Structure formats: C-alpha cells, structure tokens
C-alpha cells in the first residue's frame, strides 16, 4: 500500500500604507508691498526687533504673527501662522476578486486592502492575487509610490520563501529564482516610471523581487484624479519547500510632490 501525504504551505502578505507630503520645486518670492503711504516689508509676519544694516546686508527682524490658526468673520478668512498649502493627496487601496484578468494574468485568489491571502499553496501551482491603488492629488508635480517588505516571507523556525530572479530595475518573466525551491514577486501596472528604464514593467507578466529597500512602482509628474494602478503578486513553490505558515508585511509609501 502506498501512502501519499499532501504538503501544504499557508502564506499571507499584510500591507502597511505610509503617506507623506514631500515639498519640492517650490520658490517663494515674498515681495515688499508699497504705496505712497506705507511699506510692508514682511507680508506674512508682523515686524519686531527693529532693522539691522551693514555695508553688505539688511535684516528686517520678525516676531511672527499675533495668533496662529484660522480666524473668520462674515467678510474674511485669515490663516495665520505661516504659509498654508491647500494641496491634497488621497489614496484608496482595494482588493481584487478571484478570476479577474489584468496585466496579462488571471487572479485565482480574492484579496482585500490589507492582505494578500495566498492561503494553502500546493507545489508547482502558482497563486496570483492583486490590489488596486487609486490616487487623487492636486500636487503640482504629481506623486510617487514605493514598495518594500519588512522581512522575507518567513515561518517559525526560520525557513523562507525564495525570490524571483527579476528586480525592480529589471523585471523578468515568471519563474522561481535560480536554484531555489520557491519564489514570489510583484508586477506594477504603471508602465511609465521616473527613473532607470521607465517602461520596465510595460511587458505583462514580468516580476520583481521584494526587499527592504523602497523601490518605485508608480509615478506621475502631474495632478491626477482617481488614477488607478494594478499591483500583481504571485507565488509558487515546489515539493522541496518546507511546509508551514509563512507571513510578511509589505509597505506602500506614497509621496506627493508639491
């Protein structure tokens, strides 16, 4: 009698979202306001401390505005304190249903905004999940999204899921990393990035490995309204990969360029 034991690996990826506001390419020209009756030397601050001069410079000291915050009446709104920026950056991450075709593949698991539940992975069978990243921003110079992982997919005892041979700089067609028993990677649906080979993800079903360094996956050089980018995550193992429950966390970092 022959007994065949099936070996299962239970694998999950969890996601963390970090939003930051980068201030770039901004030049301020705070000019004096003059008339026949007055000179306003510091348009955003009240003067204080007097005027200092030498043969090389002149400094108008400032003690700041009287109050900080917003003051309103029926006739005006004053935003006191310093300079105010009204630009916005809104991000929505959503899951993708199993059976959805995108970026040249068809998903076979259902995901949500915080988890890629690869679930029980059977040897020599790819598991594919995806997420959608939707961004709206009026940032003058657009935005960028980066990805990194906190650690490799790891189980208790230290065994890890391997990587694919492709990198963010040079994604490759799907396949386990050279000499490895398992592999997982991602594909970005943004076909025009900002650095290196900007179209490196333009070929469908190509993948990059994850590591702990932030790698660009989405880029826009201008304001966008509900711009959606697909992110595909894929994993596969062979029968030599140790069984167990593997997990890791992935971080999306999103920065607006104002």
Last residue of a domain, one of 62, 80, 98: 80
- Let me know whether 121 and 197 are in one domain: yes
User: Three-class SS of residue 88?
Assistant: coil
CB 96 within 8 A of CB 130: yes
Domain contains 51: yes
- Let me know whether 61 and 107 are in one domain: no
Q: Which single residue is written with the structure tokens 């999204």?
A: 145
Domain contains 1: no
Q: Which single residue is written with the structure tokens 């994850």?
A: 210
CB 14 within 8 A of CB 113: no
| 213 CB-side CA count, 13 A | 7
Domain contains 213: yes
User: Three-class SS of residue 219?
Assistant: strand
- Let me know whether 176 and 64 are in one domain: no
The first and second tokens of residue 234, run together, are 């894929």
- List, in sequence order, every residue forming a beta bridge with 182; answer none if it has no partner: 237
- Let me know whether 63 and 134 are in one domain: no
- Let me know whether 199 and 234 are in one domain: yes
Domain contains 4: no
Q: What is the pLDDT of residue 233?
A: 96
- Closest by Cα among 88, 72, 91 to 80: 72
- Let me know whether 56 and 138 are in one domain: no
Domain contains 214: yes
The first and second tokens of residue 220, run together, are 């826009």
Cα 81 to Cα 34, 67, 84, 193: the distances in Å are 22, 7, 9, 37
Q: What is the pLDDT of residue 142?
A: 93
| 253 CB-side CA count, 13 A | 13
Domain that holds residue 194: 9-24+87-257
- Let me know whether 73 and 154 are in one domain: no
Number of structural domains in the chain? 2
- Dist. CA 258–CA 255, nearest whole Å: 9
- Closest by Cα among 174, 69, 89 to 124: 174
- Let me know whether 166 and 51 are in one domain: no
Domain contains 2: no
pTM: 0.75
The first and second tokens of residue 35, run together, are 């008339």
Domain contains 69: yes
- Dist. CA 222–CA 64, nearest whole Å: 34
- Let me know whether 116 and 14 are in one domain: yes
Q: What is the pLDDT of residue 4?
A: 36
- Let me know whether 60 and 161 are in one domain: no
- Mean pLDDT per 10-residue segment, the chain (258 residues): 45 71 45 62 54 65 59 70 69 96 96 92 92 93 94 90 94 89 95 94 96 96 96 93 91 90
- Let me know whether 75 and 91 are in one domain: no
Helix, strand, coil distribution of the chain in percent, nearest 5: 0, 50, 50
Domain contains 166: yes
- Let me know whether 142 and 213 are in one domain: yes
């Amino acid at each position: 009698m022959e007994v065949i034991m099936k070996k299962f690996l239970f694998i999950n990826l969890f996601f963390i979202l970090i939003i930051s506001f980068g201030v770039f390419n901004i030049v301020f020209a705070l000019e004096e306001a003059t008339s026949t009756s007055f000179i306003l030397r510091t348009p955003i601050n009240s003067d204080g401390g007097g005027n200092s001069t030498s043969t090389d410079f002149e400094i108008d000291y400032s003690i700041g505005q009287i109050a900080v915050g917003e003051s309103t009446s029926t006739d005006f709104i004053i935003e006191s304190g310093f300079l105010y920026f009204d630009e916005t950056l809104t991000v929505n991450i959503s899951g993708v249903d199993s059976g959805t075709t995108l970026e040249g593949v068809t998903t076979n698991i259902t995901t949500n905004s915080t988890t890629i539940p690869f679930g029980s992975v059977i040897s020599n069978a790819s598991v594919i999940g995806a997420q959608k990243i939707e961004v709206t921003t009026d940032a003058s110079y657009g935005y960028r999204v980066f990805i990194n992982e906190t650690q490799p997919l790891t189980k208790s005892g230290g065994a890890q899921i391997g990587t694919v041979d492709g990198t963010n700089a040079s994604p490759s067609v799907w396949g386990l990393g050279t000499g490895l028993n398992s592999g997982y990677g991602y594909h970005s649906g943004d076909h025009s990035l900002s650095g290196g080979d900007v179209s490196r993800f333009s070929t469908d079903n190509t993948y990059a490995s994850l590591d702990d360094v932030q790698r660009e996956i989405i880029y826009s050089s201008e304001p966008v309204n509900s711009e959606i980018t697909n992110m595909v995550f894929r994993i596969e193992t062979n029968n030599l990969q140790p069984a167990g429950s593997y997990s890791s966390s992935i971080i999306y970092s999103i920065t607006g360029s104002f």
